[in-house]
């Protein structure tokens, strides 16, 4: 335990084990670090494993930029029957059917499920129905009606087939339910299916290679090497352009005042030489410490929506 007096801010990439919730991981990290300001950038189902970005300190305020981020997974779909949860923890909802899966046919079906599509979330999900979580109604065997939502499957790859089990990799938009994808594929094949296993390999810029177990985190804290597990605030949102401010402009940003971005122009014409307008900017001080995230308002005016004071 570091203790409540130490100021820690950044993101821990935790390798979540199966059988625990994302909230369980947050609680464990709070105990290991000895601080309360800990959150996460999007849940993983209890049976799933892999990349779970845990925000610490000031980084908890960055969740708004990550909850809809691109995700990557590898997993196994078991064909033959479906379940009420769309995964291996549920009860069968169809009869078990014999399965004869062919790679060429599956790859063709996978292509049909690539791109933008409408997806209905599972009844056993955290979606709200009349102010109540859908899974709470489903557990009481109450009717659950969830509206389809648009998601995007950027890539869906067949990795292998072993009898009724299909290994796959998928990259998808935030808000996509891989359980629903497995269920829908089972309906398309005509024999039912459910998600038998799932591992998240990426969230936004965070990758599996960066992930540390809770045991490794506890050891790093014990050895006073927490920085070896922590992604700094300055390294977050690498796709956003950076702007260094100093003097009076830095003071204004720290007080949440809007400012005008001076852009150089070259050539002739209204748009000649102009860089594309960035929706969001990372604002750094002269020591290259992140002090704010600013949002484009209009023209060349930006407003610091998130100020790290």
**Domain 71-203 architecture:** 2-Layer Sandwich (3.30)
CA distance readout (Å), 220 to 104, 115, 127, 169: 47, 41, 36, 32
pTM of structure = 0.88
Q: pLDDT per residue over 200-233, tens digit each?
A: 999 999 999 999 999 999 999 999 999 999 999 9
The mean pLDDT of 172-189, rounded to a whole number, is 96
Q: What percent of the chain has pLDDT over 90?
A: 81
Tell the CATH topology of 242-307: 2.30.130
pLDDT, tens only, 119-161: 988 886 666 566 666 666 557 666 667 788 999 999 999 999 9
The CATH number of 10-68+205-235 is: 3.30.2350.10
Distance CA 57, CA 63 (A): 12
pLDDT value at 298 more than 80: yes
Does residue 3 have a pLDDT over 70? no
Do the first three CATH levels of 71-203 and 242-307 match, i.e. the same topology?
no
Lowest mean pLDDT among 54-58, 72-76, 122-126: 122-126
∠ CA 51-57-60, nearest 5°, is 55
Above 90 in pLDDT, residue 268?
Answer: no
Decide: 49 and 198 in contact? Cβ < 8 Å.
Answer: yes
User: How many other CB atoms sit within 10 Å of the CB of residue 83?
Assistant: 25
User: Distance between CA 193 and CA 181 in Å, rounded?
Assistant: 10
Catalytic residues: 45
Res 261: pLDDT: 84
Domain boundaries, the chain: 10-68+205-235, 71-203, 242-307
């Amino acid at each position: 335990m570091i203790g409540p007096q130490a100021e820690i801010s950044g993101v821990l990439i935790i390798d979540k084990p199966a059988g625990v919730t994302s909230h369980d991981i947050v609680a464990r990290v709070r105990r290991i670090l000895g601080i309360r300001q800990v959150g996460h950038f999007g849940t993983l189902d209890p049976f799933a494993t892999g990349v779970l970005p845990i925000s610490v300190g000031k980084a908890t305020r960055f969740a708004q930029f990550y909850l809809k981020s691109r995700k990557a997974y590898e997993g196994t779909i078991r064909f033959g029957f479906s379940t009420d949860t769309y995964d291996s923890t549920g009860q069968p909802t169809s009869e078990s059917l014999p399965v004869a899966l062919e790679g060429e046919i599956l790859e063709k079906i996978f292509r049909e499920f690539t791109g933008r599509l409408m997806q209905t979330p599972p009844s056993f999900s955290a979606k709200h129905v009349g102010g109540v979580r859908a899974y709470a109604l489903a557990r009481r065997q109450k009717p659950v009606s969830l509206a389809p939502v648009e998601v995007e499957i950027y890539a869906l790859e067949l990795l292998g087939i072993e009898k009724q089990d299909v290994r796959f990799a998928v990259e998808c938009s935030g808000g996509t339910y891989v359980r629903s994808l497995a269920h829908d594929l089972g309906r398309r094949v005509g024999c039912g299916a459910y998600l038998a296993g799932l591992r998240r390999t990426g969230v936004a810029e965070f990758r599996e290679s960066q992930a540390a177990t809770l045991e490794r985190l506890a050891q790093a804290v014990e050895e006073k090497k927490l920085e070896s597990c922590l992604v700094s605030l300055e390294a977050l949102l690498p796709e956003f352009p950076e702007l260094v401010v100093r003097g009076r402009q830095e003071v204004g940003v720290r007080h949440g005042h809007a400012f005008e971005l001076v852009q150089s122009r070259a050539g002739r014409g209204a748009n000649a030489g102009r860089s594309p307008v960035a929706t969001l900017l990372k604002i750094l001080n002269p020591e290259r410490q992140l002090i704010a995230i600013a949002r484009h308002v209009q023209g060349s005016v930006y407003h610091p929506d998130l100020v790290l004071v």
